[in-house]
Structure 1
């Protein structure tokens, strides 16, 4: 991916406070690092590591996982324009291991640099906190209760809204995660997820072509 700056990034309206003036954007841009590609399955950070950095997904997708003794639990998925690492702020420690689902790019800013920047420009601090809070709300799911079919359908509709928010099609998109990962996230068996996908397609609510999903108009919105 070619070099890009905050001022000409298509995602800047999602991850930068809108009150920043040109000078502030340029100063913040000097503090932001842009990594080489994060390869599929490569960790962005690991559970129990010291919180040092916030990330924004430039392209690709990530999953966050908590590892228990006998199993792992996926707690979230992140897509282009979304802030990753907010979990580490409270206790200054990451509580999940977050890895790339596909080859991905991120921007990153150290917690120290971000703190210094918001102290220098106090008017930005409150808006930055609001943006972080909104990011948590956007990524907090409300469909972990109910029937299995409702869980999956709500998951797909929520993804649709997230993609729309970031300027992508809300009706057609590619799932970067496997069905087994969706099942883990929703607390369902893989066989159940496969069966429900088949039923939703049979009922003409969605179309599936490998990992490409089309949500039919009746279910959209």
Structure 2
């Protein structure tokens, strides 16, 4: 993995501003960003929005394998993913990676560093990634005067805690895989992408690591879901054929909805 950290890369080399909507108002942020509802729908005047806008640095590209930040580095910024997928992971006592999660466009990385003032995990790009880097000390000060922004920060922190608890709620391998696919589907849908057809930018081994199962188990469960007509898998492209059944399979096992 090559290092371009912490959350520092070349500015957007084409001079673009993908985080701003192309609607004639340069102060409006991209509608897919996790901060969009705090920034665009609460009636703030342009002065307040301008203060938020100047805190955002567009950085990228990070290419597959590039390090965005490393565990132990001083925390000074969070970042919204503008494009691509970011994997976060820690090194366990045996020196192996333990995947913590995958961040998609519009989602925020670095939130779990707030408490300890250092990044507790590593973050790497899985494909070509662009970020909106936001100074955390500065956005914290601005949030005091923008209640909607402050509420959004608290909401994102709460969601981060909830994601950690969600994985442990599903014990059976089929439940965990189904819950993972449903989660990815819902997250893409929230950002305006297709909820039924999407690409998995992570490898099967990375998915298996995240779901705490062997790679061959992950492949077997995906193949079984495919053979039973619940999903269609072609290399990294997934099509949800029966999303309602997949959601039922993602529910913690109570003796119903098990794959035959």
Relative to 1, partners in 2 of residues 1:8 and 1:93: Cα closer, same or farther, differing over 3 Å?
Answer: closer
Selected match of 1:30 from 51, 54, 72:
54
2:42 aligns with 19
22 and 59 in structure 1: CA distance in 2 versus 1, 3 angstrom threshold: farther
Among 217, 227, 231, the alignment partner of 1:192 is: 217
Match of 1:10 in 2: 31
The residue correspondences of 1:170-209 to structure 2 (distance < 5 A) are: 170-209=195-234
CA RMSD after TM alignment: 1.9
Q: Structure 2 length as normaliser, TM-score?
A: 0.78
Measure, in 2, the Cα distance between the counterparts of 1:209 and 1:8. 35
Shift in alpha-carbon separation, 1:139–1:22, aligned structure 2, 3 A: farther
Paired residue for 2:87, among 63, 75, 87?
Answer: 63
Partner of 2:179: 154
Unaligned runs of 5+ in 2: 1-13, 21-26, 248-260
Q: Which aligned runs of 4 or more in structure 1 are off by greater than 6 angstroms?
A: none
* Structure 1 unaligned blocks of 5 or more: none
Structural mapping, 1:91-170, within 5 Å:
91-119=116-144, 121-124=145-148, 126-136=150-160, 139-140=163-164, 142-144=166-168, 145-170=170-195
